[in-house]
Structure formats: structure tokens, C-alpha cells
Amino acid sequence: MFSHNTLTQKRILITGGGTGLGKEISRGLLQCGAEVYICGRRESVLQECCEELSADTGGKIHYRICDIRDPDSIEAMVDSIFQEGPLTGLINNAAANFIAPTKDLSPRGYQAIRSTVMDGSFYTVLSVGKRWIKQQIPGSIVSNLVTWVWTGSAFVVPSAMAKTAIDSMTKSLAVEWGRYGIRVNAVAPGPFPTEGAWDKLNPTGKSTGATDSESVPMRRYGKMPELANLMTFLQADGCEYLTGQTIAIDGGHHLAAPSTFASLADLNDDDWQEIRDSIKASAEKEKSQRSTG
Ligand SMILES: CCCCCCCCC/C=C/C(=O)SCCNC(=O)CCNC(=O)[C@H](O)C(C)(C)COP(=O)(O)OP(=O)(O)OC[C@H]1O[C@@H](n2cnc3c(N)ncnc32)[C@H](O)[C@@H]1OP(=O)(O)O
Ligand SMILES: NC(=O)C1=CN([C@@H]2O[C@H](COP(=O)(O)OP(=O)(O)OC[C@H]3O[C@@H](n4cnc5c(N)ncnc54)[C@H](OP(=O)(O)O)[C@@H]3O)[C@@H](O)[C@H]2O)C=CC1
């Protein structure tokens, strides 16, 4: 779809780029000639991802350890990247999520999601955007959202709220920063199975609904190269007039309900306990690998 030099001269930071969708988007950007920076909290995961993608693509990929909930950590990361040369693009992809009945959420549970998805994306945009404005460099910001920005979703309320906030940031900043040549867009994927998301959203196989491919009009999950191609298009030159948009890539899912977790209302307390235990086991495994945060 694109040539190997579509993104030559582009230097793109993708948060949470060491796993899942972020890793496959990184692969796509590298195949088109971009230099890529990824970040996350687990050094071993980032290191392995860089080794694998550089061997597979021959492209230039670097990592930074960073907790995007901490604005100082972001500033240090962005500063060190700009010392090697300015970025041309930013992809807000890092996120946190788990399914839970909202009545069972503690303030800390809500904050864990909000601080990553809403605050983390905003802090990163601010850190990169203010440098672009000061240095008079144009740039492309793309946030990885979800179709719940239009539909909402039960049982993942903090995620739906925080993603919707970033949808609003996308529209607002497209206007405020248009005069600096900074484009601000977003994508809203439907289901693209990853270990990280499925461990937190369908841990026991009982939480179908949003994660069920049969309810997608195209009767299949998204394929990673499809999302990587959309991200490449939004980071490439040629359609700079495109800004302030959130583009769905979901096989028509949100136009043909249920693309949400509304159906989980049928689960009982025992189901929810089993789900919570399973999510906790996945989160603890990831935490034991963290270098920060
Ligand atoms: C359209 C179709 C699309 C199809 C479907 C796809 C939709 C995609 C939309 C978005 C998808 C994603 O974002 S998927 C991304 C998945 N990846 C991740 O989540 C990676 C990052 N995750 C994490 O860091 C952790 O898992 C997470 C728990 C969120 C945060 O870790 P922390 O160390 O910061 O926090 P902890 O101390 O463990 O927990 C903080 C509080 O949260 C509570 N908590 C933790 N798990 C809980 C649970 N299951 N139920 C209730 N509460 C829970 C704890 O009890 C704590 O509260 P107290 O008890 O009060 O202390
Ligand atoms: N999979 C799907 O079907 C869909 C996914 N999405 C979106 O795609 C994105 C990627 O999800 P997916 O790949 O499935 O899930 P993953 O769990 O694989 O990705 C989340 C990434 O974010 C990083 N991360 C989480 N918290 C922080 C933090 N505080 N600081 C820095 N990095 C952090 C994680 O790394 P680490 O733990 O090392 O910090 C991890 O690499 C998310 O924004 C998600 O909402 C949207 C719609 C559908």
C-alpha cells in the first residue's frame, strides 16, 4: 500500500510501543522508513521489541523507559529524544483498562485508568507540542482511541470517559494548533486481539460483546497491518489538510450494536470474582517486570 520510503525523514514517538498494537504499528512505520521511538515501563519488553523489529525491518528503533502518568518522566524522555533530533510525529497509544462493575471501582481504580489514558496522553502532547511550536516545526499527533467515544460502554466506564476526553482534545487542539502546522487526529479501532487487552477485557472468555468478532459486520477481527497502514497514512505527507478527525477502523462494528460491553449485565457475582482474579494475575505478572511506575 505504501513504499519503503513513505516515511523517510519522519521521527515518530509511539507510547506503549513495546507490545500489542503499538508494536505492530511500530513495525509498519519502520517498514515505511520512519525512525521510531517507543516507551513503556518494562525495560526487558522494550528491549526485546527493539531487537525483534530492527532485525525484521532493518529500521532504526529506540526505546525510553517512561511512566506517562508522571509529567516529569515524560519531559525527561522527550527532552532526550529532541537532543538527538526533533520528532515529526507522536502516537498516543499507551493505555490501561480492565472490565469491572462500576459500583465496585475504588477511587484508585478509576485513577489508574484516567491518569494513564487521559492525563498521560495530554502530558505527552503538551511536552512534544510546545517544542514544535517553539522550534516552528510542523507535526502530526494521532491518538489511539476506541469507538466507545461515540457509544460509551458499560463495565469499562473510566476508559470510555478518558478516551472521550482525548477525542475532545483532538478536536480542540486541531483548531488551536492549526496555525503552527500541527495536525491532531485520532483513530478508533474495533477489536484487534492482543494479549494485553484480552487479559484485561476477556480474561475468562465470559466477557464477549465488544470482544466478539461475530457481532462485527465483517465477521472478523481487525488485522494489525490494517491499523498500521492507517497510522502510516496519518503520519505521512500528502493530506496535511486532514485534522481534528477521529477515524473508526472497526469493520462497521459500532454502527451495528453491540460494540460495547452492555451484555455483561448478565454476569453474576461469582463470574465477576473470577474475572477480577484473572485480571489481577495478569496485572501482577506485568508489574513484576516494571522498571518504573
Ligand atoms: C469496540 C470494540 C473494542 C473491542 C475491545 C477492545 C477495547 C479497547 C479499548 C481499550 C483497551 C485498552 O486500553 S487495553 C490496555 C490493557 N493494558 C493495560 O491495562 C496495561 C496497563 N495496566 C496496568 O498498569 C494495570 O493493569 C492497572 C491495574 C490498570 C494499573 O496498575 P497500578 O499498579 O497502577 O495499580 P494497582 O495498584 O494494581 O491498582 C489500582 C487500583 O485499581 C484496582 N483494580 C485493579 N484491577 C481491578 C479490577 N479488575 N476490578 C476492580 N478494581 C481493580 C485496584 O484494586 C486498585 O485500587 P485499590 O484497591 O483501591 O487500591
Ligand atoms: N486491542 C484492541 O482491540 C484495541 C485497543 N485499543 C487501544 O490500543 C492501545 C494499545 O492497546 P493494546 O495493544 O491492545 O494493549 P497493551 O496492553 O499491549 O498495550 C498497552 C501499552 O501501554 C503501556 N503502558 C501502560 N501504562 C503505561 C504507563 N503508565 N506509562 C507508559 N506506558 C504505559 C504498556 O507498557 P508497560 O506496561 O510496559 O508500561 C503497553 O505497552 C490502547 O490505547 C488501547 O486502548 C483500542 C481499541 C481496540
Give the model's confidence band at 193: pLDDT under 50 very low, under 70 low, under 90 confident, else very high. Answer: very high
ipTM: 0.99
pLDDT of 212 over the 80 cut: yes
Ligand nearest to the CA of 14: 2
Cα 241 to Cα 232: distance, rounded to the nearest angstrom: 16
Residues 166-190 as b or e (16 or more Cβ within 10 Å = b): bbebbeebbeebeeeebbbbbbbbb
Q: Name the residue at shortest CA distance from atom 14 of ligand 1.
A: 197
pLDDT in tens, 49-94: 999 999 999 999 999 999 999 999 999 999 999 999 999 999 999 9
| Residues whose beta carbon lies within 6 Å of some atom of ligand 1 | 95-98, 100, 104-106, 108-109, 112, 146-147, 159, 190-191, 196-197, 200-201, 210-211, 253, 259, 276, 279, 283, 287
* Domains of the chain with CATH codes: 11-190+216-250 (3.40.50.720)
66 lines ligand 2 (CB under 6 A): yes
Chain centroid offset of residue 48 CA: 19
- The residue among 61, 63, 56 whose CA lies nearest residue 39 is 63
140 lines ligand 2 (CB under 6 A): no
pLDDT of 180 over the 90 cut: yes
pLDDT in tens, 238-263: 999 999 999 999 999 999 977 999 99
267 lines ligand 2 (CB under 6 A): no
